[in-house]
Structure 1
Amino acid sequence: MKIGVLLAGCGVFDGAEIHEATLTLYFLDKAGVETLIMAPNIKQKDVINHLTGEPMNEERNVLVEAARIARGNIVDIDQVKAEDIDGLIMPGGYGVAKNFSNFLEKGAEADVIPQVKRLLVELFKAGKPIGAICISPVIVAAALREAKPTVTIGTDVDVAKTIEAMGARHLSCPVNEMVVDEENKIVTTPAYMLGKTIKDVAEGIEKLVNEVIRLAKK
């Protein structure tokens, strides 16, 4: 079995959330599952100094930055088709919203970048599971509007309302649990949308990983 892991860069404020990405890869490896790590070869929306929280006057590439987490073992998402993997997991981080969509600007009317939307739609049509962590469910909801998926980002009322305005259904969920949309094979967990420490988010992510694996075997 091979599960794809889609990264939005490297770093919570402008890329993929590193703890969520690492835990995802760890639990997949622990379960004996092969991974295919990927990212789009695009410019980051912005670059944030993670020490000060302030913007930096420089440019970075999402694929190049994500390669840090992947230890260089990563491919351009454009090279990946649904037939290459048995499912996909997308860790969170602000970079997901910033680099994969215009969610921060357009909210419920957000568009997902073609590279990411294409693969999500392919996987959905192929009946293969998609796991989305933290803020990533907004990308799933925006990309798969017609499916009206059931997802969670935890208990954030404003984001939940935006997700429902996209046509999806939102369920509140504690950090150590997940929401499973069995019909659409979509699994979501709040992670750092709710959790305060790495141990808080680990339990929910492990459950999500194992559920994606279970659905991939169906």
Structure 2
Amino acid sequence: MKVAIVLSGCGVFDGAEIHESVLTMLALSCAGVPYQCMAPNINQAHVINHLTGQVTEGENRNVLVESARIARGEIIDIKNADSHDYAAVFFPGGFGAAKNLSDFAFKGSACQIQPDVLHFAKAMAAAKKPACYICISPTMIPRIYGQDAKLTIGNDQATAQAIEAMGGEHIDCPVQEFVVDAERKLVSTPAYMLAQNIAEAAAGIEAAVEATLAMIATEART
């Protein structure tokens, strides 16, 4: 029962949120579930100096190469990933999910998903395999699952309105909990959209991972 983890770079402001990524890996590892990290082989939208919060002019970084930092080098190009090989998929947050995996950070409800990411995510959805979206990454759900998909990013009103403009059904959710769309086998949790520290992020992520793995177990019994 191997699962996929889709990363979007390395660093909260321009890539995958490191705490969320590692907490997801830790929860899976503690449950005895092997995972494969993957990311698109594309340039980042931009590079942010995480000390100053400013864009670093003239610097380019690759999403797959940067994601390899978190994955300790054990990562593949999502373009080469076969959905048949995975029982579920996990999308940690960080602005990379909204800048590199999609362009939600720039275009809001008019956003599109990076083609290789969209192809893999839609293949998992078509196979009715469970998916867990964390933090800001649930903004991609309406583009993948269509109208009325239930999800949460916490309670940020502007983001929730953009999600609903895309056809999603946003549900307010506290940091330690998660929202389930049972019909689509979707789990989402706010993590650092609300978390004030790593312990709060961990509580919701661990619960969401457990719920996602329970869906796999249920599927295996049917």
Contact 2:95/2:105 (<8 A) preserved: no
Name the Cα RMSD after superposition: 0.8
1:105 matched to which residue of 2?
A: 106
1:175 matched to which residue of 2?
A: 175
Contact 2:3/2:34 (<8 A) preserved: yes
1:128 matched to which residue of 2?
A: 129
TM-score by length of 1: 0.97
| Partner secondary structure for residue 100 of structure 1 | coil
* 1:82 aligned onto 2:83: yes
Which letter maps to 1:180? V
| Partner secondary structure for residue 164 of structure 1 | helix
- For 1:31 and 1:163, locate their aligned partners in 2 and report how far apart those are by CA, in whole Å: 32
Which letter maps to 1:7? L
* 1:188 aligned onto 2:191: no
2:54 matched to which residue of 1?
A: 54
1:198 matched to which residue of 2?
A: 198
Superposed, 1:68-79 pairs within 5 Å as 68-79=69-80
- For 2:145 and 2:110, locate their aligned partners in 1 and report how far apart those are by CA, in whole Å: 13
1:156 matched to which residue of 2?
A: 156
Alpha-carbon shift at residue 106 of structure 1 (Å): 2.1
Q: Count how many residue pairs are aligned between Structure 1 and Structure 2.
A: 217
Superposed, 1:9-88 pairs within 5 Å as 9-57=9-57, 58-88=59-89
Alpha-carbon shift at residue 104 of structure 1 (Å): 2.3
Which letter maps to 1:209? V
| Partner secondary structure for residue 195 of structure 2 | coil
Aligned residues with identical type, % of pairs: 48
- For 1:102 and 1:143, locate their aligned partners in 2 and report how far apart those are by CA, in whole Å: 14
Contact 1:12/1:18 (<8 A) preserved: yes
- For 1:38 and 1:123, locate their aligned partners in 2 and report how far apart those are by CA, in whole Å: 14
- For 2:105 and 2:13, locate their aligned partners in 1 and report how far apart those are by CA, in whole Å: 13
